[in-house]
Amino acid sequence: MIEVIEPGNFQGEKYWYEKSFNATIHPLISFFLKFDKQRLIARYCHLQPMVSAQDLEEILTYKPKYFWWSGADLINAASAGGKRQMVVIETNSCPSGQKAMPLVDDHSDYGGYVSLIEESFKLFLKGKRMTKGALALIYDKNKQESTGYAAAMSEVFQQKVFLIPYYDDGNNEHIRIENDQLEFYYDGGWNPIAAAFKYLTQKPWNRIPVANKTVIFNPIIACLAGGRNKLIAAKAYEFYNATLEGSGLHINMPETIWDVNKAEIPFWVHKFGGHAVIKIPYSNAGQGVFTITSDSELDKFMAMEFDYERFIVQSLIGNYDWSSNTEKGRLYHVGTVPDKKGKSYVSDIRLMIHYTHQGYRPLCIYSRRAPMPLVNSLEQIDDSWQVLGTNLSVKKGKNQWDSDTSRLIIMDRKDFNKLGLGLDDFIEAYIQTVLATIAIDKMAQKLITPQGKLKMKLYKSFNDDTSLIDEIIN
């Protein structure tokens, strides 16, 4: 169950999809990932003259306290007037993506795995008080990438790394919390973990205390403050946008109604013109997201039972003729470039960033498309998720996942042109991701005590969901 990764055993072909490992990165993406920060700022401020170069540089060099590694899902949308913008759908505190990213350097098989460990994780540990113990990677999903990160850790630190499964509601007899520190059972005894790279996607707060002696990357507070909680994330975005007012910068997000009881949902769906997105705030990997475009889809949702008490309802971005009506107008999907049959698909962008000595830098990018093409009329579809849902994760059973890679769009010479995106679109996506990440980091700082514990009373005021509060180990 527990695997030991030794230095010198990094085997790149194991940690990527075959499609992406053997691909040649598109020149524009390679250029963007290496784009000098000052040139990027100059370009953005030229196109957005209301934004000052000084303000933007301060944002891009912001040093986070908790949220060092992040990935945002963004939609390339347009307004009725044709203005395009990147809209943040959610931000993840342990995002997938490395296995879908072509190598930037043909002469290195390490890719972004080693970049993240060398430039961010190692920097994160610097100056931290650590007890004696092992170096570990704990995961509950995406073993392929988790193993890649563990192998990268072993290479960078030149020591053994323990790869440890830690499932939600699973058999976890091999790992425990003892005296506020993570320990794992191996070789006949319990061993403390000094530092851990966390790849936990399912309710990580129900297994790991917010305050603990094991140094964790990213810390649990980053998940609770928005990295794994869409409700708190929406509030974090709003609060940060208020501080950005007048700067020309803001986080683009769907109109969001938070703290919604289930019984109230039909009223908010009606407010959005009968088209909306309902989300369980604490789910991920495409689970707990419901697109509503008809009375039958709403009735189906209302007939379901849920573990949690609070939901968020967001404006729906669809085709122009069936997107939500909001106070700021209507947004619709730009979609992919029409294929040979003239069909366009909803797609999103996953952009991963990490904090380095140079500030937040882009690390990898990939895209996903929906199973069915965009249609002009809702009468042509029975299930709107098939037209709007882009997530590739497929839940096969308890703690068992697969990926529908047929809908993966990688940043290589072949796939890239399907997106119809240019350098300025990626710059905008990058800045939106940084802004969303900073918003969550600032929220995390508000929610934690100097001793590293969650301010539970304050947290309840933001997210008064008894089912969630009962899960948190503080």
Q: Is the dihedral of CA 361, 363, 364, 370 positive or negative?
A: negative
Tell me the pTM: 0.95
CA 329 vs CA 78, 164, 279, 287, 455: distances in Å:
11, 48, 22, 28, 37
Half-sphere exposure of 373 (CA within 13 A, CB side): 11
Q: What is the pLDDT of residue 329?
A: 83
Q: For residues 235 and 287, is the Cβ–Cβ distance under 8 A?
A: no
Q: DSSP for 181-245?
A: EEEEEETTEEEEEEEEEEE--S-GGGTS-SS-SSEEES-HHHIIIIIS-HHHHHHHHHHHHHHHT
224-274: pLDDT as tens digits? 999 999 999 999 999 999 999 999 999 999 999 999 999 999 999 999 999
Helices (H), 109-185: 111-116, 122-125, 143-157
CA 427 vs CA 8, 110, 214, 221: distances in Å:
36, 25, 36, 28
Residue type, 173: E
Q: What is the pLDDT of residue 391?
A: 82
Other Cβ atoms less than 10 A from the Cβ of 410: the count is 23
Give the integer Cα–Cα distance in Å for 313 and 307. 17
Half-sphere exposure of 230 (CA within 13 A, CB side): 29
Name residue, tokens 């058999």: 171
Q: What is the pLDDT of residue 80?
A: 84
Q: What is the pLDDT of residue 57?
A: 97
Write the CB contacts of 400 (distance below 8 Å, at least 6 apart in sequence). none
Rounded to 10 deg, the angle between the 53-60 and 37-47 helix axes is: 130
What is the distance, to the nearest Å, from the Cα of residue 152 to the centroid of all Cα atoms in its chain? 21
DSSP for residue 279: E
Residue 14, phi then psi, degrees to nearest 5: -80, -20
Give the integer Cα–Cα distance in Å for 8 and 259. 50
Give the integer Cα–Cα distance in Å for 27 and 39. 17
Omega before residue 218 within 30° of 0, cis: yes
Beta bridge partners of 192: 183
Listed in order, strand segments (DSSP E) in 42-180 are: 69-79, 84-92, 134-139, 161-165, 175-178
Find, among 415, 302, 299, the residue nearest to 20 by Cα: 415
- Rounded to 10 degrees, what is the CA torsion of 179, 185, 191, 194? -80
Q: For residues 316 and 292, is the Cβ–Cβ distance under 8 A?
A: yes
Q: What is the pLDDT of residue 380?
A: 76
Q: What is the pLDDT of residue 211?
A: 94
CA 46 vs CA 51, 422, 425, 427: distances in Å:
9, 16, 14, 13
324-380: pLDDT as tens digits? 988 878 999 999 999 999 999 999 999 999 999 999 999 999 999 999 999 988 887
Q: For residues 142 and 159, is the Cβ–Cβ distance under 8 A?
A: no
Domain boundaries, given as residue ranges, for the chain: 3-10+104-225, 22-99+229-444
Q: Hey, is 281 helix, strand or coil?
A: coil
- Rounded to 10 degrees, what is the CA torsion of 232, 238, 243, 244? 120
Task: Please state the length of the chain.
Answer: 474
Q: For residues 384 and 293, is the Cβ–Cβ distance under 8 A?
A: yes
Q: For residues 309 and 466, is the Cβ–Cβ distance under 8 A?
A: yes
Residue ranges for the chain with pLDDT beneath 70: 285-286, 393-403
Q: Hey, is 32 helix, strand or coil?
A: helix
Write the CB contacts of 47 (distance below 8 Å, at least 6 apart in sequence). 424
CA 347 vs CA 75, 337, 405, 408: distances in Å:
7, 10, 14, 10
Domain 3-10+104-225 falls under CATH 3.40.50: yes
Residue 287, phi then psi, degrees to nearest 5: -85, 150
